[in-house]
Structure 1
Amino acid sequence: MTFDAIGIAGTGLTVHRKWLDAVSDNLANANNATSTDGAAFQARYVVAQEGQGVSGVYVAGAEFGDAEGTMVHEPDHPLADENGYVRYPDIDLSQQMGSLIMAQRGYQANAAVVDRAKSTYEAALQIGRN
Structure 2
Amino acid sequence: MSDLLSSMQSSVSGMTAQSMRLRVSSENIANSDTPGYHGKIVRFAQVAAGDGTSRVVSGPPELSNASLERIYAPGHPLADAEGYYDGSNVNLMVEIADAREAQRSYEANLKMFDQARAMSSSLLDLLRR
- TM-score normalised to the size of structure 2? 0.88
Aligned to 1:36: none
Counterpart of 2:40 (choices 34, 39, 44) is 44
Aligned to 2:24: 22
Deviation, 1:124, is 0.9
SS at match of 1:50: strand
Aligned to 1:91: 90
Hey, which bits of structure 1, 4+ residues long, moved more than 4 A?
none
Aligned to 2:5: 3
Aligned to 2:123: 124
Matches of 1:60 and 1:85, distance apart in 2 = 35
SS at match of 2:59: strand
Give structure 1 stretches of 5+ with no counterpart.
Answer: 34-39
AA in 2 matched with 1:71 = R
Give structure 2 stretches of 5+ with no counterpart.
Answer: none
Matches of 1:22 and 1:125, distance apart in 2 = 39
Matches of 1:41 and 1:67, distance apart in 2 = 11
- TM-score normalised to the size of structure 1? 0.87
SS at match of 1:97: helix
Q: Which moved more, 1:101-110 or 1:67-76?
A: 67-76
Matches of 2:7 and 2:67, distance apart in 1 = 43
AA in 1 matched with 2:73 = E
How high is the sequence identity, in percent, across the aligned residues? 25
SS at match of 1:81: coil
Counterparts of 1:32-111 in structure 2, within 5 Å, are 32-33=34-35, 40-54=36-50, 55-66=54-65, 68-111=67-110
